[in-house]
Structure 1
Amino acid sequence: MLKLIRLNGTRFNSLFDIGCADGQLTEQTANLLQTPIQNVYGVDIRSFGEKEFTFLQCDFETEKIPLPNDFVEAAIVTQVLHHVHGWKNLLKEIQRVLKPNGILIVRESLLDSEVNQIMLDIQHGLYACCICDEMDADEFVNQFQTEYISQNDLQKYLQTLFRVRNFVFDGKDDKFQKMLVCLRQE
């Protein structure tokens, strides 16, 4: 991921992972960015147990991110925005906690087709209920919500908040296209 957006080898003193889940990606990214673990923060709606980094539990729909303004140099949000109905407010909160000239890395599914949205929802259900055993089927139906964002809407909104370094698209075809974007806080 970091190679795609030309950040490989870049060092950041602080890192914030929004929607960090169990923290595996958080720790891997911190290692690649050479970020000291004491300056790594992760936030998620659910607690996944003790972490080496600072974990913050937060409901993005109703709460502000519990970090001060201009606090972190780098932030990542990976496959999270489509789970947050107030995704624009979440991006504003991320902008608030990023230091001037901080970097935001976004990776998000772009599914304009309803069929593809349903397929990804099935994948989410299998992952949450069967593979990771995070929740049972009733919990999944009650808690798991998706609001897929079009490529155009996401690109336009990101450009209103941040200076775009580069957009990268991956996926073999338009069916399961993902957007990876690197943005700089001004």
Structure 2
Amino acid sequence: MRFWLNLLGYQAAWFIAVGFAARGLAWPGMLACLGFAAISWWTSPLRRSDLKLIGAALACGLLLDGVLAATGWLRYAAPLPALPGPAWIATLWVAFAMTLQHSLQWVIARPAVAIAFGVIGGPLAYWGASRAFDAVVFIMPLQATLALALGWGIAMAAFVLIVHRRHASITHQPGVSA
């Protein structure tokens, strides 16, 4: 049941963020994403590593979307409030982080699958936000798609490392068997 609540909760937050951003409103999506992340974190048995994933995801999102916004390869609807990229995108990264050890743990457990998931799924999510909602406009489609694929692949590799380090530290504790 927790799997489905996490998966559906994230999808709801994504649709709210993208749908309202397309209408020029960042705050409903930010509230949805942060609310989803807060509830997921509060009910998580993995709070410490979830916080590490949130920090890593936020850093990845600020860097990747900041670069894409600064280069002009992507234009975001509801660009304000802006960090290096739009705040609604940054909160989507935070919400996504809360799926990694929950509804997406099966992906994270397989590093090659996780990286492929990022390389393919990252750009597809942006294209979906672009085509279905006009929340993102690809000004330089090839460059932006390649940057998204590379950025999301690296991000997923980083997330895998964080999760695997957590599991390694647990299994190497005295009195804990693997």
Task: Give the structure with the larger helix fraction.
Answer: 2
Task: Give the structure with the larger strand fraction.
Answer: 1
Higher relative CO (CA 8 A, sep ≥ 6), structure 1 or 2? 2
When the two structures are superposed, what TM-score results if normalisation uses the length of structure 2? 0.31
When the two structures are superposed, what TM-score results if normalisation uses the length of structure 1? 0.31
